Structure 1
Amino acid sequence: MKKILLSICFFGFSTIAFSQAGHIMQGVGAFNMSMGGASTAQPLDISGALQWNPASISAFNDKIIKFDIGLFYSSPELSSSLPAGMMGPGSPAVSGVTKDDRGVSPMPALAMVWGKEGSKHTFGASAFGISGFGVTFPQEANNPLSPGFNPTLNSNPINYPQQAGGFGHIESDYMLLQVGLTWAYELSDKFSIGVEPTFNYGTLQLMPNPTANPSAAGYPSTNKASTSGFGAQFGLFYDSKVGFKAGVSYKTIQNMSKFEFKNTYLDNSTGTNEFDMDYPAILSFGLGYSKSDFDIAIDYRMVDYKNTNGFSETGWTPTASVKGFGWDNVSILSAGIQYKGIKKLPLRLGYTYSSSPIGSDVAFFNIPATAIIKNAFQFGFSYAASSNISLDAVYHHGASDGQTSGQILNPMLASSSNPYGAIPGSTVAYDMTTDLIMVGISYKFNKQQVKL
């Protein structure tokens, strides 16, 4: 039992404030979130335009600055079970559920666009948290080392102490901040192109760290490691000027430096290891239509995890550390509608669907990967406080729509017929819901102040 669960890899993703599809954020800012994240062909606010299609900022002819802040709450649950006899001859089956106790996390976004009536050039700058995860699963109190251990009650073996074969307290923190500098150019009054070089900074902390080689004392905890990197985004935007709009954008892989972990094991021995994790390429297509009091937006995105370091590989190394996530590509459908029939108070509804990148065969390698939200629903509105100031708000609710589940894996059982070492009769599963309240404020400078 002790060696079996020490092999559990837990470093999958669960959002603190950003992602809804794998570890990709669903939208940026209260306005864009309330449209389900759809913005590739419908640039209704500057944050969504800067995030999803750099060419679409040509729709703005003013100098605008926007800031958003949200409070994000997730409620992931991690469960597992082992069949009878796994804890010794005659021992009963054990199973249990552990709830995350992380609490509320912040979600900020900052954007700015410089436009001018009659100019073919539009510029923008943004600082967005484009990815993040974090879980806090406490150690199982009802474990084999506790005096009152009762295996017939709720007892989650994954959260047993490492001395008892589990992982104990599981905690992770990851964030990726992206700064973008955007330029759009109008080839004609209907067609624009855009380019955005991107610069990234990220941090990651794991407890324990399954990317490191385990020792006799189990897997280590780590310091908070950092990474930096760069990439780009390119876009095309078409506005018919009679309501119909179309857009396409491509965000390249964000090539990141390797995380360098300084590890500390339970016996106080130390070591180091590296882990290479990039941000995947994203291809987006969008359609938009505006008429009278209605704006409609639909986006489709493909997230290319299969060709991204950290996600393309999976399985065990020869020393029982974990190669990577083993994720499939993700398809995302975003849709939103805005109604402007109420003076100064436009209303919005949004919906987002995401496929899951995690198959049952690799569910174990992504134990806290509770960031997989299949269906998300949003309601939002704006209030025009003046000709210069607009306030935005959104409420989001998402659900994984069922558990992601598989079997517990053990590298010592791996073979040609059982490549990941699945333990017969075992289970591991996780699911979650998410809730977000976000507000934003945008300020439009007087036109006479705008200079290029």
Structure 2
Amino acid sequence: MQRTKHTLTRHSCLLALLLLPYAAQATNGYFSSGYGAKAQGLAGVGIALPQDALAAATNPAGTALVGERADLGVTLFTPNRSADIVGNGAGADASYDGNGTKRFLIPEFAFTRRIDANTAWGLAAYGNGGFNTDYPTNPYGRFGATGSAGISLEQLIITPSLAYKINEAHTVGVALNVAYQQFSAKGIGIFGTSQTSSAPANVSDQGVDSSTGSGLRIGWTGKLSPSLTLGATWASKITGKFDKYKGLFADGGSFDIPENYGLGLAFAASPEWTLAADVQTIRYSQVNAVGDSAASFFAGQKQLGTANGPGFGWRDITVLKLGASHQYNRDWVLRGGISVADQPVAAQETFFNILAPGVVQKHLTLGATWTSPAGGEWTGYYARAFGESVTGNQSIPASFAGGNVNLHLDETLLGVSYGWKF
């Protein structure tokens, strides 16, 4: 058993390295809508309904509730992002396609093992979130920018977890979220001058920069009756910093992963049907680089990169996720879900958010698991983030000849995983 544990740990670390180039994604803002193919089939529901070894990414208490197992999955993520400039006096009016990079593969891996009858540990590696835009025709070109424009943000988290069953009803868990982030920006050099940035040379076209940080996630599940389970989870902010882009992001390049927390319930309506729901809050406003408004920058009051400086103006969001699972027969489980989120991007902030149009709010998902005669579990899911637009409201400042930017985003995700029990 000891050799197996060491082998799994080595394989997890190796897979984490392979994950790095593929962690770009966006669904709820720039957070993933869920973790693990089974949860994704339920629109990301998982706080009170752990189903596989990725459970710790949502609620570490689940590590003690899914048995000894490993899960390996991959998602094909296809976002469709664009921006329209209208009413601009500098002649920038046009539709701009941000899909220079069209598809992304997002792998994930996790395993769980028992320590004793009440205690279990696990390790998960997954893409937490991120964003990518790639505009072959630069939306800022009429204002003096050159080359193609866009950003790439990738966030990988490795989560070792420990969970303890207090009794037959209540389980608690704790996890260390070790985050690795990568970021690059191109084609936005017009914002890198001595008048506009505290570090003009570190705004655009500096290649890929990276940062590491860590934070804590804790969780609880409680079985209040044979049919009703509740859950709660909280994750701390994870600090990060991109020195190569210290002239772009507030606080000298600081870019943290925000605090987030949620509540969940799972109700066994019958032996075949389980209904579940999560409510999650993501505090984007706590991260200055993300939450601070760009208005002070365009008004000439603050430079990019300064303490408490301008950002993308994102608001906190709350996400409601609803899912249903049906045990169709001994071999098949069918799933479906829907989620609805607040809009993080304000209508006044769309000019800067050409680079990060994370505006989708509604997801519809379908999924299924087939258990093979040998006991392996094949799970697939499909998720559609319906097209969403944010229409600008006086979003282009007078210094850029006014007008508005209208942002558009829709997404398609198709995933598959294989799980096996020890």
TM-score by length of 1: 0.78
Match of 1:53 in 2: 59
After superposition, give the CA deviation of every residue in 1:113-134 in whole Å (9 maximum; x if it has no partner): 1137x71101111111101111
Instruction: Give the equivalent residue in structure 1 for 2:141.
Output: 160
Correspondence for 2:3: none
Residue in 2 aligned with 1:25?
Answer: 32
**Alpha-carbon spacing, 1:318–1:126, altered in 2? closer, same or farther (3 Å):** same
In the alignment of these two chains, the number of paired residues is: 383
Which of 328, 340, 349 is the aligned partner of 1:362? 349
Contact 1:19 1:25 in 2 (8 A): yes
Tell me which residue corresponds to 1:69.
74
Deviates more, 1:205-214 or 1:171-180: 205-214
Report how far residue 361 of structure 1 moved. Answer: 1.7
**Residue of structure 2 in register with 1:126 after alignment:** 124
- The structural deviation recorded for 1:212 is 6.4
- Give the deviation of 1:353 after TM superposition: 1.0
CA contact (8 A) 1:16 1:72 kept: no
Q: Is contact 1:54-1:196 (8 Å) kept?
A: yes
CA displacement at 1:352 relative to structure 2: 1.3
Report the CA distance between 1:76 and its aligned residue. 0.9
Structure 1 residue 391: Cα displacement: 0.4
Residue 403 of structure 1 is aligned with which of 377, 390, 406? Answer: 390
**C-alpha displacement of 1:209:** 4.6
Q: Distance in 2 between matches of 1:396 and 1:434?
A: 8
| Equivalent position of 2:304 in the other structure | 321
State the secondary structure of the residue aligned to 1:311: helix
Q: Distance in 1 between matches of 2:60 and 2:226?
A: 22
Residues 124, 404 of structure 1: CA spacing in aligned structure 2 closer, same or farther, 3 A cutoff?
farther
Worse-superposed segment, 368-377 or 123-132? 368-377
| 2:242 aligned partner, one-letter code | F
Residue pairs, 1:33-432, within 5 angstroms: 33-47=40-54, 49-60=55-66, 62-83=67-88, 86-87=89-90, 95-99=93-97, 100-115=99-114, 119-139=117-137, 158-160=139-141, 165-166=144-145, 168-209=147-188, 213-214=192-193, 220-240=204-224, 242-256=226-240, 258-261=241-244, 274-290=252-268, 291-315=270-294, 316=297, 320-321=303-304, 323-410=310-397, 424=402, 426-432=403-409
Conserved 8 A contact 1:214-1:220? no
What is the letter of the counterpart of residue 51 of structure 1? A
C-alpha deviations, 1:83-108, integer Å up to 9, x for none? 4xx34xxxxx6521112231111111
Whichever residue aligns with residue 200 of structure 1, its letter is A
Partners of 1:77 and 1:176 in 2: CA distance? 22
Q: Which has the higher helix share?
A: 2
CA–CA distance in structure 2, aligned partners of residues 38 and 191 of structure 1: 19
Q: Is the 8 A contact 2:145 2:189 kept in 1?
A: no
Q: Could you tell me whether the CA contact under 8 Å between 1:214 and 1:320 is conserved in 2?
A: no
The CA distance in 2 between the partners of 1:65 and 1:307, in whole Å, is 35
Tell me the distance in 2 between the aligned counterparts of 1:211 and 1:352.
38
Q: What TM-score comes out, normalization by structure 2 length?
A: 0.84
Q: Secondary structure at the match of 1:358?
A: coil
Paired residue secondary structure (1:222): coil
Partner Cα separation in structure 2 for residue 166 and residue 212 of structure 1: 9
Q: 1:106 to 1:293 in 2, by over 3 A?
A: same
5+ unaligned residues in a row in structure 1: which ranges? Answer: 1-14, 88-92, 141-157, 265-272, 414-420, 446-452
Q: For residue 108 of structure 1, what is the amino acid of its counterpart?
A: P
Please tell me whether the aligned partners of residues 102 and 135 of structure 1 are also in contact (alpha carbons under 8 angstroms). yes
Secondary structure of 1:76's aligned partner = strand
CA RMSD in angstroms comes to 2.7
The SS at the match of 2:61 is: helix
- Corresponding residue for 2:412? 435
Spell out, residue by residue over 1:143-170, the C-alpha distance to the aligned partner (whole angstroms, 9 max, x if none): xxxxxxxxxxxxxxx2426xx5345411
Given the superposition, is the C-alpha separation of residues 262 and 241 from structure 1 closer, same or farther in structure 2, using an over 3 Å criterion?
closer
Letter of the structure 2 residue corresponding to residue 292 of structure 1: P
Is the 2:341–2:361 Cα contact (8 Å) retained in structure 1?
Answer: yes
